[in-house]
Amino acid sequence: MVYLTFVICFLAAIGLTPLVKKLAIQAGATDVPNARKVHKKIMPRMGGLAIYFAFIIGMVILWPVSSYTIPLIAGSVIIILTGILDDLYSLSPRVKLIAHFFAALVIVEGGITVTYINLPFNGVLYLHWLSIPLTLLWIMGITNAINLIDGLDGLAAGVSSIVLMTIAGLALTENDLFVFAVSAVLLGSTLGFLPYNFHPAKIFMGDTGSYFLGYVISVLALLGFKNVTMFSLVVPVVILAVPISDTLFAIIRRLVNKKPLTAPDRSHLHHCLLRYGFSQSQTVVLMYGMSAMFALAAILLSTSTLLGSLLIIIGVMVTIELVVEGVGLVSTGYKPLLKTYKRILSLAKALSPAKAK
């Protein structure tokens, strides 16, 4: 039934997106080009409404048996309304942050929290009073992280689809049918929207879509924390490595440059890759590849020994750092790892037998 519902959601999103496009144009939900944005013409946004409607159709068909179904849908209503208002009227960062807090609070009140973290050698770290703040921070952080990478045609939708495929696959292997069902429903809805959103896009998902995707993905990852032992502290972080690292280094970049954390700029990963010489489509596909690589690392991590897990985590961290330094994600002068490598290389050459002769 889940697979049939996936197809229904996919077809529903395909059919609903042109209708939402007309609605967005009539309502004035359009994205006007400016110096910070990549697109060159006025584009309808609020396309995430098609993803949401298709998702709700799938949830009504399946109605996964869980006490988490109602909190997830109730919180998503807050997120969708916030996204629609933002696409129409450009809400202030403070208003959006408050709305996201209450949407996250709905999830906490519904009983979905990070109560413990799995440690090596079958250890468990109970979070106690930190449980609720960490849960709220996770939901709000991932919700905004997906929003921040929504800067190129098809980027947020494609990366989210890769994340959802990974979560669904891991959940299925552990027989977590609720997480699998919700992931499949959202995946079908997102893939149905993607043909209209990939370059050259006919409609943007807008904050309506990016916030909604980030919100549901954050909750699905939380449910993995809560119910499935394979979702240890780092597995969902690795799955979401692209949006999380982009957001983290955006914060670092703004702190270093003494700018407000909410200040927009043209230094996100996709902007850096564009400046590096890649076309818009090449940049999106390249970031798809990064997401797929991290997804594979997360899958391996969930089944690895302690030594294997450490090696994978180190490999992921080094890869992220090399990408950050290579494209200038923090600044053009920020290259500690590459500079260290060059010093070691120079020292090795200086100490080589050939040099000594």
Q: Can you tell me the distance from the alpha carbon of 69 to that of 74, in angstroms, rounded to the nearest whole number?
A: 9
Collapsing DSSP states into helix, strand and coil, what is residue 43?
Answer: strand
Listed in sequence order, the residues at least 6 apart from 193 whose beta carbon sits closer than 8 Å to its beta carbon are 13, 14, 17, 47, 48, 50, 51, 54, 157, 205, 209
Residue type, 78: I
**Could you give the CA distance from residue 259 to residue 255 in angstroms, rounded to a whole number?**
6
**Main-chain phi, psi angles of 269, to 5 degrees:** -55, -45
3-state class (DSSP) for residue 234: coil
- CA pair distance 357, 352, nearest whole angstrom: 9
Task: Report which secondary-structure segment, H or E, holds 19.
Answer: helix 2-27
Backbone angles phi, psi at 319, to 5 degrees: -60, -45
Give how far the C-alpha of residue 57 lies from the chain's centroid of Cα atoms, to the nearest Å.
23
**Any binding-site annotation on 207?**
yes
Residue 147, annotated as binding a ligand: yes
The single-letter code of the amino acid at 280 is Q
Three-state SS string over 276-310 comes to CCCCHHHHHHHHHHHHHHHHHHHHHHHHCCHHHHH
Give the residue numbers of the binding site: 147, 207
Binding site per annotation, positions for Mg(2+): 147, 207
